[in-house]
Amino acid sequence: MIGVKRLAGAALAALLLTGAAHAQPSLSPEARTAARFDAVVKDRAQLRLFLRTMPKGGDLHNHLAGTAYAEDFLAWAGEGGLCVTTDPLPAIVAGPCDAPGKAPAQGLGKTNPPLYSRAINSLSMRSYNPGADGALPSGHDQFFSTFARFGPAGDGKLSAMLAVARDYAAGDAVGYVETSVNPSAMSDLVNLARDTPWDGDMAKALAALEPAIPAMTAKARQEFDAAEAEADRRQGCHAQKPRTGPCAVVLGYQAFAVRVLPPSVVFAQLTAAFALAQADPRFVGVNIVAPEDDPTALADYALHMRMLRFLKTRYPDVKLSLHAGELTLGLVTPRELRFHIREAVEVAGAGRIGHGVDIAYETDASSLLARMARDKIAVEINLTSNDVILGVKGADHPLHLYRQAGVPFVLSTDDEGVSRIDLTHEYLRAVTEQGLTYADLKAAARASLEYAFLPGPSLWVSPRAPVAACAKAGAACDRFLAGSRKATAQWRLEREFEAFEAAPH
Ligand SMILES: [Zn+2]
């Protein structure tokens, strides 16, 4: 009898334990969600499903022109009466289209499906096969050369591009996109400087541009007012209260300089970018773009950092996110790998670093990493872009180095249309190639708003503690949020995580 009782007791205990394990009553929604992530981590299709709906906060490294897909550009080319060349690498060009070697973009998918398909490949990295079918022999060259081939279709299409960026973000559970885009009015300053030889006198160069700045910022404001209103109209946002889907995606803009241009032009672009960030709160930061390994970009790198430093002393509140270290061994000489990230941080005063791929080649990389960790200079990680352009991926990618050093990081797309990816894809790569956990991804999503250049104080005083006003929802928190676009976005992300983690899995 005793033995039977003991057995029954043990069986009952086992049953209770099993039941407890099944219902997991003690697990928080976050822990249950992490367990679900762990259960699907080896199944990429299931993982994709999980990650697509996971709230991701912001996409902080995003180029507006590189966000639209080739099909978008071909549609806009059709609307604008532009043509597609029939070259081995088809490109969008101006009309008339009835000349030899050209076809109308309008309806091309139906009138000439093979050319339409080749055009998509030529305007992006789709089906990229090095050197085959007219494609360029390096991913780097193919990638950067697409911009000139689809560029004409983007002229005058700002509102359509904004709408596309919001549409893709909403489909990807991204609430904020910080995208690089220049107003066309920037050319007013560039035209003033274009014919002026660069003599290194930055104060003089700035003084020559300053009279034109108020008119330039006013024109830019009008251009973006109109484009945003048109994007709202296209996406039916005016009727929405509250806004949902694409209409709820917040956009922040980074005006930028193109680092392959002559110094006087780069300085004029940077001046315009700083002035815009000062004058219009939608322009949240300044960037510098184009291939960092270009001969002019290399020759002028240190000069560009000094220009940024000079302008930052004149516009001290303007934030900088700088492409730096988008390089790797063999692409350039070893000496070029030693200092780009450090100068972006120490000379230019970057608040964030774009790419930072060559960090392990920097002189005294350990102290640089420690400085970035100490000063909370986040690195924007673009896994697919780095793979396609630089051939750096998997264990060769330095994400783990940044993480070990405690440098904050965010996951971003760079040019999702050119790479034909989305941010979910980058999260997926971060899991399958970099071994990130649910907790890591959630921290990255939160970091994408903490280190966003959205104005206003953060919701968080420490990683787990909100400001006192928002310890609980209520009037005090509402007042705090009303004074901070950043905290508003962070608050929304937390509500999205609550819903995501409470959903039945
Ligand atoms: Zn970029």
Indicate the SS3 state at residue 256.
strand
CA of 62 to the centre of ligand 1 (A): 6
Handedness of CA 159, 161, 162, 164 (dihedral sign): positive
Q: What is the distance in A from the centroid of ligand 1 to the CA of 414?
A: 5
Ligand 1: centre distance to CA 57 (Å): 19
Ligand 1 centroid – CA 386 distance (Å): 10
Strand ordering across the sheet containing 83-85: 92-93, 83-85, 102-104
**Rounded-to-integer distance, Cα 481 and Cα 495, Å:** 14
- Rounded to the nearest angstrom, the distance between the alpha carbon of 415 and the centre of ligand 1 is 7
Separation of 354 CA from ligand 1 center, angstroms?
A: 7
Average pLDDT over residues 472-484: 96
Q: Which two tokens stand for residue 284?
A: 């949240």
Find the 87 Cα to ligand 1 centroid distance in Å.
28
Is the pLDDT at 110 greater than 60? The verdict is yes
d(CA 269, CA 220): 13
- Ligand 1 centroid, distance to 63 Cα (angstroms): 6
Average pLDDT over residues 335-349: 98
**CA 290 – ligand 1 centroid, Å:** 8
Q: How many whole angstroms from 258 Cα to the centroid of ligand 1?
A: 11
* Ligand 1 mean position, distance from CA 502 (Å): 35
**Ligand 1 centroid to 457 CA: how many Å?**
26
Kindly provide the b/e burial profile for residues 378-395, where b requires at least 16 CB atoms within 10 angstroms of the residue's own CB: bbbbbbbbbbbbbebeee
Residue in 359, 353, 325 with CA at minimum distance from that of residue 340: 325
**pLDDT tens for residues 245-290?**
999 999 999 999 999 999 999 999 999 999 999 999 999 999 999 9
CA 298, 300, 302, 307: dihedral to nearest 10 degrees? -140
CA of 426 to the centre of ligand 1 (A): 14
Q: Which amino acid is at 283?
A: F
The confidence score (pLDDT) of residue 410 equals 98
pLDDT digits (tens, 9 = 90+) for 128-139: 988 887 788 899
Give CA–CA dist 364/356, Å, rounded.
Answer: 15
pLDDT digits (tens, 9 = 90+) for 444-460: 999 999 999 999 999 99
Counting residues of the chain whose pLDDT is more than 70, the rounded percentage is 95
Determine the 3-state secondary structure of 133 from DSSP: helix
Rounded CA-CA distance 436/455 in Å is 29
pLDDT, tens digit, for every residue of 295-304? 999 999 999 9
Per residue in 84-100, pLDDT tens? 999 889 999 999 999 99
Distances (CA, A) of 357 to 249, 346, 404: 29, 17, 15
CA of 125 relative to ligand 1 center, distance in Å: 15
CA of 380 to the centre of ligand 1 (A): 9
In angstroms, the CA 136 to CA 167 distance is 31
Single out the residue of 280, 346, 352, 364 nearest to residue 315, CA to CA: 280
d(CA 390, CA 62): 18
Rounded to the nearest angstrom, the distance between the alpha carbon of 289 and the centre of ligand 1 is 7
The 250-258 sheet, strands edge to edge: 58-63, 176-180, 250-258, 283-289
Distance 318 CA to ligand 1 centre (A): 19
